Structure 1
Amino acid sequence: MSLENSIGVSAAGLRAQSLRMRVIAENLANASSVADTPGGDPYRRKVPTFKAALDRSTGTTTVEVTGIQADQSEFTRVHQPGNPAADADGYVKMPNVNSLVESADMKSAQRSYEANLNAIESARSLTMRTIDLLK
């Protein structure tokens, strides 16, 4: 694999992890938001999906975002009769966002992002050393 191809693969990884971090940040920002109407559904956690994609021009396999899907897990219900979003029984549906899971996902995305940056830096460094040798 050429250095240019390796940078392209790492750049695709950077884009994917960047999107993943943005989705996680949105989930965390809405972790305590409730519905606008009584008994309505609150924010639903979002999860990005990826797939391997073959770049036919370079012959490399990169990562591609296939979409952002809503997590269909159940909402938790909390008894808060005074809340404007409470249903007739006094329960409020809370988002299906677990801050601990989101934090772990964020750390994983951050590590993957850093690994891709390091790969790009290594390829750049090798290219610069090659140029220096050719002088």
Structure 2
Amino acid sequence: MMSLMSTFNIGSTGLVAQAMRLNVTSSNVANAESVAGPDGRTYRARHVLFRSTEVPNAQGVGVEVSNIVESDAPLRQEYKPGHPMANANGYVQMPNVNPVEEMVNMISASRSYQMNIEMMNTTRQLMLKTLDLGR
């Protein structure tokens, strides 16, 4: 029974990590057309990096967010000559957010989150079945 309990600890690390990935993806999508952020710089897409981690009181390895990094992809240049942020040639620097890539990240993070929930539900059902053996 103890090894099944550790499954919840391991699964919760996956839930936290994928929730962070969904939050970062949401920020990227929300800022896909932002010309400038609070610091005055053009928004750059962010990506979550994961690493495996030892889970206390568990017989297994979980996952954690090791870092959130800005994309080094070039910013998009859009021709908008009347825009107040346009350069001398009429181009505005736009975020390097790729909507297709963000959609894939969202679907992948959502599926991973759902799989962790399903794994925890299966563990719960197994534990209940084990308790029913004593009846």
Q: Which runs of 4 or more aligned residues in structure 1 lie more than 6 Å from their structure 2 counterparts after TM superposition? A: none
Paired residues, what number? Answer: 132
Indicate the residue corresponding to 1:31 in structure 2.
32
Indicate the residue corresponding to 2:51 in structure 1.
51
CA-to-aligned-CA distance 1:46-74 (integer Å, 9 cap, x gap): 10111011235434211011111111110
Contact 2:10 2:58 in 1 (8 A): no
RMSD: 1.6
Q: Percent identity?
A: 38
**Residue 50 and residue 97 in structure 1: after superposition, are their counterparts in 2 closer, same or farther (change >3 A)?**
same
Gaps of 5+ in 2: none
The alpha-carbon deviation at position 131 of structure 1 amounts to: 1.4
Alignment of 1:61-80 (within 5 A): 61-80=61-80
Contact 1:41 1:93 in 2 (8 A): no
Alignment of 1:91-110 (within 5 A): 91-110=91-110
Matched, 1:128 2:116: no
Letter in 2 for 1:29: A
TM-score, normalised on structure 1? 0.91
Indicate the residue corresponding to 1:15 in structure 2.
16
CA-to-aligned-CA distance 1:87-117 (integer Å, 9 cap, x gap): 1221101100011110011001111111100
Indicate the residue corresponding to 2:119 in structure 1.
119
C-alpha distance in structure 2 between counterparts of 1:56 and 1:101, whole Å: 34
Letter in 2 for 1:24: T
Contact 2:9 2:55 in 1 (8 A): no
C-alpha distance in structure 2 between counterparts of 1:6 and 1:41, whole Å: 43
C-alpha distance in structure 1 between counterparts of 2:113 and 2:57, whole Å: 25
CA-to-aligned-CA distance 1:6-28 (integer Å, 9 cap, x gap): 11111110110010001000100
